[in-house]
Amino acid sequence: MTQPVRPDSTQDGSVRPTTAADQSWADLAARLTPAASMARIDADTGRAITTITVLGLLLTGLGVLGAGQLAGASPAASALAVAAVIASSLSVACALTAQVLTISRRLNPADLNQVKAWYHRQFTVRARATQAATVLLIVAALLAGATAATVLLTAPAQSHAAASAR
């Protein structure tokens, strides 16, 4: 059985000098600290909340302008619109949950096991909530697009039917 070759060794086992590529990878690995990961989670949830807010404003604005159209739209369009609102609301709730500040008064910073456990809990809760917010945001955007497409595709048929009835 052969041993895997480490980046700093050769096939014959001799050590080779560190390359610029090795140093780049080492620099990237050094950035994978718990504090840096938490900062990335905060940035991602902040971006999700901003995007959700923009999407919410667009949905609200289109809802106000198109309320009359949606009221007479097909049941499919109405169901899609309701689903989009629910998905975006859940996305906001998940993003806000991920940004809840947790303070542990009983955490002893000198006890590394407690510090590791605290960071692990934070990653578990906040990263999952951030992922859920992002997925729900994508779902809400797709549902909003599907709602608009359904209204646009079914509106002419309803307009023609109303004109024929006159």
Q: How many domains does one find in the chain?
A: 1
- Decide if 71 is inside a domain: yes
In a domain, 152, yes or no: yes
Q: What is the pLDDT of residues 31-42, one digit of tens each?
A: 777 777 778 777
* Percentage, residues of the chain above pLDDT 90: 2
The verdict on residue 132 lying in a domain is: yes
- Domain membership of residue 52 (yes or no) is yes
Q: Is there a domain that residue 85 lies in?
A: yes
Whether 13 maps to a domain, the answer reads no
In a domain? residue 18: no
Range of the domain at 129: 33-159
Kindly tell me if the per-residue pLDDT of 152 is higher than 70.
yes
Q: What is the DSSP string of the chain?
A: -PPPPPTTB-TTS-B-PPPHHHHHHHHHHHT--HHHHHHHHHHHHHHHHHHHHHHHHHHHHHHHHHHHHHHTS-HHHHHHHHHHHHHHHHHHHHHHHHT-----TT--TT-HHHHHHHHHHHIIIIIHHHHHHHHHHHHHHHHHHHHHHHHHHHHHHHHHHHHHH-
Overall pTM surpassing 0.75 (yes/no):
no
